[in-house]
């Protein structure tokens, strides 16, 4: 474990000059890849700056070990899987799911030596996603996040994965931000024209924060037409759940309900993987809607990705963030506080959420 502390220290440079919203919360589960993206071959992933390799054991269950052969430090991810064990491409050393070295080809004395093993990270497959824990060692008691409604047969689910430049905070704030939609996604969601006030209620618990939008009209444009062909007001919640889940929920009736959840995985301080889980129940048949989900989501995200990249480059160029917020930044500052507290290990559960109300022109 001492070795791993030092790996982390060497791999993750001290947080950059200036002030940034990057937070490092290792004692938590993160999505490593879609289940469908882990097949026969080993797969390299980087979580919180640590290079890992995923592979499936003989029983098909996934494992994650440090992506470095202890012998000559070649990445194990360029090797292959043989009989459920990971084989290094250089000298053929083999490793079990637990990271134990099971074979050194050519060696007469195959007695096990501790230094030949490789550290393993807790790994679990759930709801179509492969999760890894942020710290190596024993599997922790807590379980990965469960996405609501995914297991409900009345709902359809579409998965996707994209990469965004920016910290988990920047990506989460962007995903849950209402005011930018009229500009960045003008036409797809809202438009910058005549506006009327709606009420926003923000509630923060010890491990999550949500914004409820009261009195909001049906979203305009293409997305709105699919979500609620009949118009009307919507029930709309945006949520962030520590340390890595963002959730946008729209409900128009019992039969028209969509939850876009996204698990954010920090590759490093300034790059984030987004695993989107779009779960919906609509008046339209699922087979009709499903083909449109991914193209629409990708089109929206392409616009966000462009802004996130520009933002991230400017922050890097200026040597840190200098944000000025207004009350319209309903969740960003709360997400930041939650991540900062989690990073420092300060999580104080309480019964009642902190609540704040304000008006927004939409």
Are the C-beta atoms of residues 49 and 23 closer than 8 Å to each other? no
Are the C-beta atoms of residues 11 and 26 closer than 8 Å to each other? no
Task: Choose, by CB under 8 A, the member of 125, 268, 321, 341 that binds a second copy.
Answer: 321
Residue 201 binds a second copy (CB under 8 A) = no
Total number of residues binding a second copy (CB under 8 A)? 61
Choose between 105 and 229: whose C-beta lies nearer to a second copy.
Answer: 105
3-state SS of the chain: helix, strand, coil percent to 5? 25, 35, 45
Residue 196 binds a second copy (CB under 8 A) = no
Strand partners, 306: none
Nearest residue to 347 via CA among 229, 250, 235, 205: 205
Are the C-beta atoms of residues 81 and 97 closer than 8 Å to each other? no
Task: Choose, by CB under 8 A, the member of 4, 34, 35, 75 that binds a second copy.
Answer: 75
Task: Choose, by CB under 8 A, the member of 4, 35, 57, 74 that binds a second copy.
Answer: 74
Going across the sheet that includes 62-66, the strands are 43-47, 50-56, 62-66, 120-121
Measure the CA–CA gap between 148 and 156, rounded to whole angstroms. Answer: 12
Interacting stretch for a second copy, rule CB under 8 A, among 113-121, 157-165, 258-266, 272-280?
113-121
Choose between 74 and 222: whose C-beta lies nearer to a second copy.
Answer: 74
Measure the CA–CA gap between 75 and 53, rounded to whole angstroms. Answer: 8
- State the minimum distance, in angstroms, from the CB of residue 165 to a second copy: 12
Task: Choose, by CB under 8 A, the member of 235, 251, 307, 356 that binds a second copy.
Answer: 307
Q: Based on the number of CB atoms within 10 Å of its own CB, is 156 exposed (0-12), middle (13-18) or buried (19 or more)?
A: buried
Interacting stretch for a second copy, rule CB under 8 A, among 65-73, 215-223, 243-251, 275-283?
65-73
φ, ψ of residue 313 to 5 degrees: the values are -65, -40
Residue 210 binds a second copy (CB under 8 A) = no
- State the minimum distance, in angstroms, from the CB of residue 351 to a second copy: 31
Interacting stretch for a second copy, rule CB under 8 A, among 239-247, 277-285, 289-297, 326-334?
326-334
Choose between 197 and 231: whose C-beta lies nearer to a second copy.
Answer: 197
Task: Choose, by CB under 8 A, the member of 1, 2, 17, 350 that binds a second copy.
Answer: 17
* Residue 157 token pair: 């689910």
Residue 284 binds a second copy (CB under 8 A) = no
- State the minimum distance, in angstroms, from the CB of residue 334 to a second copy: 15
Interacting stretch for a second copy, rule CB under 8 A, among 56-64, 243-251, 279-287, 353-361?
353-361
Choose between 326 and 348: whose C-beta lies nearer to a second copy.
Answer: 326
- State the minimum distance, in angstroms, from the CB of residue 87 to a second copy: 8
Choose between 106 and 345: whose C-beta lies nearer to a second copy.
Answer: 106
Interaxial angle between packed helices 168-175 and 286-317, expressed in degrees from 0 to 180 and rounded to the nearest 10: 130
Q: Which distant-in-sequence residues (6+ apart) come within 8 Å of 190 by Cβ?
A: 178, 181, 182, 219, 220, 221, 362
E-strand ranges in 220-353 read 235-241, 245-253, 256-268, 271-281
Choose between 177 and 269: whose C-beta lies nearer to a second copy.
Answer: 177
- Provide the H-helix boundaries in the chain: 2-11, 168-175, 181-184, 221-227, 286-317, 332-344
Are the C-beta atoms of residues 208 and 338 closer than 8 Å to each other? yes
Binding flags for a second copy, 37-56, as an x/- string (CB under 8 A): --------------x-----
What is the contact surface with a second copy in residues (CB under 8 A)? 7, 10-11, 17-18, 51, 67-68, 70-75, 78, 88-92, 104-108, 113, 115-116, 177-180, 182-184, 192, 195, 197, 307, 310-311, 313-315, 317-328, 358-362
């Amino acid at each position: 474990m001492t070795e791993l502390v030092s790996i982390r220290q060497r791999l993750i440079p001290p947080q950059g000059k200036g002030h940034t919203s990057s937070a490092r919360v290792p004692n938590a589960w993160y999505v490593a890849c879609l289940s469908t993206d882990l097949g026969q071959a080993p797969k390299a992933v980087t979580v919180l700056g640590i290079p890992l390799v995923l592979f499936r054991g003989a029983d098909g269950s996934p494992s994650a070990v440090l992506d470095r052969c202890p012998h000559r430090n070649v990445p194990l991810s360029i090797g292959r899987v043989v009989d459920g064990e990971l084989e290094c491409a250089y000298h053929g050393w083999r490793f079990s799911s637990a990271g134990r070295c099971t074979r050194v080809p050519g060696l007469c004395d195959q007695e096990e030596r501790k230094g030949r093993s490789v550290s393993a990270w807790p790994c679990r497959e759930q709801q179509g996603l492969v999760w890894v824990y942020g710290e190596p060692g024993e599997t922790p008691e807590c379980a990965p996040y469960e996405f609501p409604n995914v297991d409900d047969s009345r709902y359809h689910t579409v998965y996707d994965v994209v990469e965004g430049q920016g910290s988990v905070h920047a990506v989460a704030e962007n995903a849950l931000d209402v005011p930018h939609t009229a500009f960045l996604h003008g036409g797809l969601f809202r438009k910058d024209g005549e506006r009327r006030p709606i009420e926003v209620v923000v509630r923060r618990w010890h491990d999550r924060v949500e914004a409820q939008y009261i009195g909001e009209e049906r979203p305009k444009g293409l997305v709105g037409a699919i979500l609620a062909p009949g118009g009307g007001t919507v029930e709309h919640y945006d949520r962030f759940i520590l340390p890595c889940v963002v959730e946008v929920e729209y409900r128009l009736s019992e039969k028209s309900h969509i939850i876009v959840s996204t698990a954010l995985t920090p590759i490093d301080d300034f790059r984030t993987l987004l695993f989107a889980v779009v779960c919906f129940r609509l008046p339209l048949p699922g087979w009709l809607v499903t083909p449109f989900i991914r193209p629409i989501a990708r089109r929206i995200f392409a616009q966000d990705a462009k802004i996130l990249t520009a933002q991230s480059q400017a922050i890097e160029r200026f040597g840190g963030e200098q944000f000025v917020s207004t009350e319209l930044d309903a969740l960003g500052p709360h997400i930041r506080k939650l991540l900062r507290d989690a990073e420092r290990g300060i999580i104080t559960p309480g019964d009642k959420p902190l609540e704040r109300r304000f008006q927004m022109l939409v």
